[in-house]
Amino acid sequence: MSYTAVILAAGKGVRMKSNLPKVVHKAAGKPLVAHVVDAVQAAGIKDIVVVVGHGREHVEKVFTDDGVQLVVQEEQLGTGHALQQAQEQVDPASTVLVLAGDIPLLRPSTLKALLDYHQQGQAEATVLTTHLEQPTGYGRVLRDEQGYFARIVEEKDASPEEKSINEINSGIYCFQAGSVFRVLQQLRPANAQGEYYLTDVLEILKSEGHRVQVMAAADSEEIHGVNDRIQLAQAEKILRRRKNDQLMRDGVTLVEPDSIMIDSQVTIGRDTVVMPFTLIQGKTIIGEGCEIGPWTNINDSTIGDRVVIESSRVKEAQISDDCVIGPYAYLRPGAQLETQVKVGDFVEIKQSTIGSGSKIPHLSYVGDALVGRQVNIGAGTITCNYDGQHKHQTILEDHVFIGSNTNLVAPVRIGESSVTGAGSTITRDVPAQSLAVERADQRVVPWKKKKQDH
Ligand code: UD1
Ligand code: CA
């Protein structure tokens, strides 16, 4: 059996009160619609069509390279009309899974169970439902005397009696493609919202004598849609908890996990300990046996094994095994640390490679530099890499010792094993095995302070 998933994501999401379409709002660092696409892919479906409309240029940016097809619904005339836009992309002999783009908590296992149930029941349509204590806002599922599916009534069209039903339509369905696209053409917008309701397809199929099934989801949390920013925050919290639980199951220690936020794509090796108030974002990879945090923010970085990072900011950096970072270090894009590098307090590194065993322990700025192995950079040293117009490179060869408070005016190269005197402003290249000192001789003159109390 071949499957196609159609994700309906053309709506505006009025209750978000946003200039962006709802489905590109992020939960746990990932757009809502990308959560849905990932769940569908994890359930084994490769053919995915996303129906876009409102703010579609923003939705298009989410899917630049994942093989997802986009179709446009120019006017948002309802969920039935939205699905109709995908007709050309769907093989009529296939099974089509339809779902909304605003349900980031949906699990692949639930989708697989729905597909299996649909197949086993040889149904024309299967709708996923659940029971909610507060069903307000959702379509209610009406059943006939035998308990079989009868129809779905929307909140706005429901009688008070129907509103008291707490079995709701999740908005997730399986259909035989040929049937659903045939019936979609018969829909009429004869309802309170004047829309073409996809839900009406189920009633029509049933009235034609086809088999329409209901599958109740075990965990109602999964089908919670995000309609406003409060629900977005609730979804975020659940996703974060799931991610943290998964990491802990996989052997990562999270100390006070409620204070730790880790994006869904992040991977962390076993026996790494993450301390409180730490935020790890984007495509970050962290190795085994590291100590990360407290108070640390890392994004889009690769970190080796046994690395210690305390109270620091790391952004688009590469850190190899056994490095020690912080407290209060700032590693910026293009910072590449080889093994056993120490970067201490109030050190900023940008677009620079630091060789194995080198140390930048205190109060330095290193930008556009190539630093060799076993180099020691004294406290307060900075690279003067910018002349007001261009950036220039600083090269420190292996075993260099930079005296405290040196200014390295780039472009400049310090040869192997050379030393600079503390407080020097180095403007010219220094050959290997040399000492470069640039400062005025100290003068000592007799002096008497007026008052002795200071
Ligand atoms: C829909 C269901 C309701 C169900 C609920 C579950 C219908 C008529 N009602 O209601 O029974 O309980 O979902 O969350 O289907 N969309 C488009 N184009 C449109 C309209 C909607 O792409 O013209 C997309 C939206 O972007 C959204 C999804 O379809 O992702 C659902 O639309 P929405 O308007 O939120 O439907 P509900 O009123 O929530
Ligand atoms: Ca909705």
Distance CA(290)–CA(269), nearest Å, equals 8
If you take atom 28 of ligand 1, which residue's CA is the nearest one? 100
Query: Which residue has the CA at smallest separation from atom 34 of ligand 1?
Result: 11
User: CA separation (Å) from 186 to 52, 66, 143?
Assistant: 23, 34, 23
Residues 202 and 259 in one domain: no
The proportion of the chain whose per-residue pLDDT surpasses 70, expressed as a percent, equals: 99
- Judgement on whether residues 12 and 137 belong to the same structural domain of the protein: yes
How many Å lie between the centroid of ligand 2 and the Cα of residue 217?
17
Q: Quick one: which atom of ligand 1 is closest to the CA of 52?
A: 22
If we measure between CA atoms, which residue out of 6, 17, 229 comes closest to residue 100? 6
* Distance separating alpha carbons of residues 224 and 105, to the nearest angstrom: 7
Radius of gyration of the chain (CA): 31
> Does residue 204 sit in the same domain as residue 271?
no
Atom of ligand 1 nearest to the CA of 22: 26
Question: Does residue 318 lie in a domain region?
Answer: yes
Q: Ligand 1, from 24, 71, 79, 83: best to mutate by most atoms within 8 Å of Cβ?
A: 79
Cα of 227 from ligand 2 centre, angstroms:
6
Domain-embedded: residue 232: no
Give dist(CA 189, CA 192) in Å, integer: 9
- Give the ligand whose atoms come closest to the C-alpha of residue 197: 1
Q: Are 260 and 353 within one domain? A: yes
User: CATH number of the domain that 424 lies in?
Assistant: 2.160.10.10
| CA 138 / ligand 1 centre spacing (Å) | 9
Q: How far is the CA of 12 from the centre of ligand 2 (A)?
A: 10
Closest CA to ligand 1's atom 39: 138
Q: Say what the pLDDT of residue 395 is.
A: 98
Shared domain for 186 and 275, answered yes or no, is: no
Strands 318-319 and 435-436: unpaired
Query: pLDDT value at position 19?
Result: 94
Sign for the CA dihedral angle at 424, 425, 426, 428 comes to negative
Give the position, in ligand 1's atom list, of the atom nearest the Cα of 102.
30
Angle between helices 199-207 and 177-184 (to 10 degrees): 100
CA 139 to ligand 1: nearest atom: 11
Please report which ligand is nearest the Cα atom of 106.
1
Nearest ligand atom owner, CA of 76? 1
Instruction: State residue 12's pLDDT score.
Output: 84
In the reported structure, the alpha carbon of residue 101 is separated from the centroid of ligand 1 by a whole-number distance in angstroms of 9
What span, in angstroms and rounded, lies between the C-alpha atoms of 229 and 25?
9
Q: Which residues' Cβ are closer than 6 Å to ligand 1?
A: 8-11, 51, 73, 76-79, 81-82, 100-102, 138-139, 152, 154, 168-171, 197-199, 225
User: What pLDDT tens digit does each residue of the chain (454 aa) get?
Assistant: 799 999 999 988 899 999 999 999 999 999 999 999 999 999 999 999 999 999 999 999 998 777 899 999 999 999 999 999 999 999 999 999 999 999 999 999 999 999 999 999 999 999 999 999 999 999 999 999 999 999 999 999 999 999 999 999 999 999 999 999 999 999 999 999 999 999 999 999 999 999 999 999 989 999 988 999 999 999 999 999 999 999 999 999 999 999 999 999 999 999 999 999 999 999 999 999 999 999 999 999 999 999 999 999 999 999 999 999 999 999 999 999 999 999 999 999 999 999 999 999 999 999 999 999 999 999 999 999 999 999 999 999 999 999 999 999 999 999 999 999 999 999 999 999 999 999 999 999 999 888 776 6
Q: Which residues are catalytic?
A: 362
What is the number of alpha carbons within 13 Å of residue 412 lying toward its C-beta? 22
In a domain, 55, yes or no: yes
Ligand at minimal distance from the CA of 24 is 1
pLDDT at 218: 84
Closest CA to 129 of 155, 166, 98, 94: 166
341 and 400 inside one domain: yes
Does residue 20 form part of some domain?
Answer: yes
CA dist 104 and 93 (Å) reads: 29
Evaluate whether residue 423 is within a structural domain. Answer: yes
**Residue ID of nearest Cα to ligand 1 atom 22:** 10
Strand ranges inside 65-211, DSSP E: 69-72, 95-100, 125-131, 140-143, 149-153, 167-176
CATH number, domain containing residue 96: 3.90.550.10
Q: Do 218 and 253 share a domain, yes or no?
A: no
In whole angstroms, what is the distance from residue 59 CA to residue 25 CA?
10
Q: Does residue 229 fall inside a structural domain? A: no
Q: What domain range includes position 280?
A: 248-436
Looking at the structure, do residues 121 and 66 belong to the same domain, yes or no? yes
Helix (H, G, I), strand (E, B) or coil at 230: helix
Amino acid identity, position 27:
A
441 within some domain: no
Residue 331: its pLDDT value, please? 98
Pair 297, 188 in one domain: no
Strands, E, within 219-281: which ranges? Answer: 253-254, 261-262, 267-268, 273-274, 279-281
List the one residue out of 331, 368, 337 whose CA is nearest residue 352.
Answer: 368
Ligand 1, atom 1: nearest CA belongs to which residue? 171
Closest to 118 measured CA to CA, from 75, 63, 180, 181 = 180
Rounded CA separation 200/205 (Å): 9
Same domain? For 50 and 128 the reply is yes
pLDDT at residue 450 in the model: 83
> Does 449 reside within a domain?
no
- Considering the domain architecture, whether residues 277 and 191 belong to the same structural domain is answered as no
- Does one domain contain both 134 and 281? no
Count: domains in the chain: 2
